[in-house]
A and B are shown apart, each in its own frame.
Chain A
């Protein structure tokens, strides 16, 4: 049972812990109680994600998990405010025949308050964790994941199911990371105010983008054309800026630590689930992205999917580079940062 513990911790503690277990065991008992085994398993998990007594690797893993939670929550806020809620509102305010091939979108239009309600939970979770309220944040983290599962389960099948899957994956990743990353022995959130400041900026930005999208949609003519393609072009540019900023930030921080590259790499995984929809033929080939000329008729432009693939690949390379820098700077010394706990 004690082999569950990290090797370095076991080396220091095994005799002492074994004595305590044997002293507490009943006469003739050869196996630990289930409760003892569970407590050791819990300790082993916490030690591997940054609890006191863990290795430097565990501190790294714990820090990555906590940043994945905070970053994942902000990413969900961004997606909901710029995409999910505006689209649902748009179809609620002005159902368009051009979109008649997307029945579930109408479903979400009728239930747009679910997005809004879940968004409030996500925001509350972020605020709780950024302010150091770990228990509240963990509970809310699980609640937002459960809400996402529910919404996914009740949604009818539709061509955009991979979008919902990507959001669900991001929600579940955030929920699991919140459960493990903000355990009782986890350190307090560093730079909480900075996170709050970034969150406020992002929410403001996302509200403006989402409102502009709705306004632009409502200005669309009955033939499906926009008075000006300006917003459409701008949104394509905005869609490129986000990943570019993430890559730049990861590369900058990679000079000193692998934490941010690892965090951003994990956060880049759920968008990969967008791939199926963007390589799937649409109903009439007349919707969404350009340039249509290089896409076979009836196929949707796979831009967003390719963007996710390229971003993920570059982030993986950045992480590898960060780890290599640490390794080469330590020379022959055994580098605990590189080694995974056995």
Chain B
């Protein structure tokens, strides 16, 4: 079942992204999401596990394995093929929306944060 874009949040998007390269446990997901968002998003435990329950129920995530490390149980989650496909579709949609926004901002001559100076229409690619 693909992510329903009307209900997907940025948190869910980042959780899925965090699991693309390798399975992670709960705190590992929290750390990776914080890194991906440059520290902007701090996942709380209640939010994290609510999202994990929902995504597991939708078939986008699956339990990978359990480990006991220093007396603490770590349960690892992995991204399923279905989850990867849904994430890819979402990423594509967001990228298209972002490109459209950037194009219009360039046309209007508005500088984009993090980009060098003002991109004029003469040299700027549309």
Interface residues of A (CB under 8 A from B): 13, 15-24, 35-36, 38-44, 46, 51-53, 184-185
B22 at interface, CB cutoff 8 A: no
Ranked nearest first, the 4 interchain pairs of A and B with the lowest CB-CB distance are: A39-B46, A39-B44, A43-B46, A20-B26
- B:37-86 near A, CB below 8 Å: 42, 44-50, 53-54, 56-57, 72-75
**Residue in B7, B26, B53, B72 whose beta carbon sits within 8 Å of that of A51 in the complex:** B53
Q: Whole-angstrom distance from the CB of A40 to the nearest CB of chain B?
A: 4
Interface residues of B (CB under 8 A from A): 7, 9, 25-27, 30, 42, 44-50, 53-54, 56-57, 72-75
Contacts of A15 in B (CB 8 A): 72-73
Contacts of B47 in A (CB 8 A): 39, 42-43
**Residue in B9, B44, B74 whose beta carbon sits within 8 Å of that of A19 in the complex:** B74
Contacts of B53 in A (CB 8 A): 51-53, 185
CA distance A22 to B7 in the complex (A): 30
CB-based contact A46/B26 at 8 Å: no
Most-contacted residue by chain A among B9, B50, B56 (CB, 10 A): B50
CA distance A51 to B49 in the complex (A): 11
With known contacts A17-B26, A20-B27, A184-B7, A36–B73 Cβ distance under 8 A: no
CA distance A177 to B86 in the complex (A): 32
Contacts of B50 in A (CB 8 A): 42-43, 46, 51-53, 185
CA distance A185 to B7 in the complex (A): 9
CA distance A44 to B7 in the complex (A): 20
Q: Whole-angstrom distance from the CB of A184 to the nearest CB of chain B?
A: 7
Chain A: which residue is nearest B9 at the CB level? A184
Chain B: which residue is nearest A13 at the CB level? B49
B contact patch SS: helix
CA distance A13 to B49 in the complex (A): 9
CB-based contact B30/A24 at 8 Å: yes
CA distance A24 to B72 in the complex (A): 13
Chain B: which residue is nearest A43 at the CB level? B46
Contacts of A53 in B (CB 8 A): 49-50, 53, 57
Contacts of A23 in B (CB 8 A): 26-27, 72
Most-contacted residue by chain A among B25, B42, B45, B49 (CB, 10 A): B45
Contacts of A24 in B (CB 8 A): 27, 30, 45
CA distance A22 to B72 in the complex (A): 9
Contacts A16-B26, A51-B53, A185-B54 aside, 16 further interface pairs with beta carbons under 8 A come to A16-B73, A16-B74, A17-B49, A19-B74, A20-B25, A20-B27, A20-B48, A24-B27, A24-B45, A40-B44, A42-B46, A51-B50, A51-B54, A52-B50, A52-B53, A184-B7
Contacts of B49 in A (CB 8 A): 13, 17, 43, 53
CB-based contact B75/A16 at 8 Å: yes
Q: Would you mind naming 15 contact pairs between A and B with Cβ atoms under 8 Å apart? A: A15-B73, A23-B72, A24-B45, A36-B44, A39-B45, A39-B46, A40-B44, A41-B46, A43-B47, A43-B49, A46-B50, A51-B54, A52-B57, A184-B9, A185-B54
CB-based contact B72/A36 at 8 Å: no
Q: Whole-angstrom distance from the CB of A261 to the nearest CB of chain B?
A: 28
CA distance A40 to B9 in the complex (A): 19
CA distance A40 to B73 in the complex (A): 19
CB-based contact B45/A36 at 8 Å: yes
Q: Whole-angstrom distance from the CB of A5 to the nearest CB of chain B?
A: 9
Contacts of B30 in A (CB 8 A): 20, 24
CA distance A13 to B53 in the complex (A): 11
Q: Whole-angstrom distance from the CB of A2 to the nearest CB of chain B?
A: 9
CA distance A43 to B57 in the complex (A): 16
Q: Whole-angstrom distance from the CB of B82 to the nearest CB of chain A?
A: 16
CA distance A40 to B75 in the complex (A): 18
CA distance A11 to B73 in the complex (A): 13
Q: Whole-angstrom distance from the CB of A189 to the nearest CB of chain B?
A: 13
Q: Whole-angstrom distance from the CB of A29 to the nearest CB of chain B?
A: 14
Contacts of B25 in A (CB 8 A): 16, 19-20
Q: Whole-angstrom distance from the CB of B39 to the nearest CB of chain A?
A: 14
CA distance A189 to B41 in the complex (A): 31
With known contacts A15-B73, A52-B54, A40–B46 Cβ distance under 8 A: yes
Chain A: which residue is nearest B53 at the CB level? A53
Contacts of A22 in B (CB 8 A): 72
Q: Whole-angstrom distance from the CB of B50 to the nearest CB of chain A?
A: 5
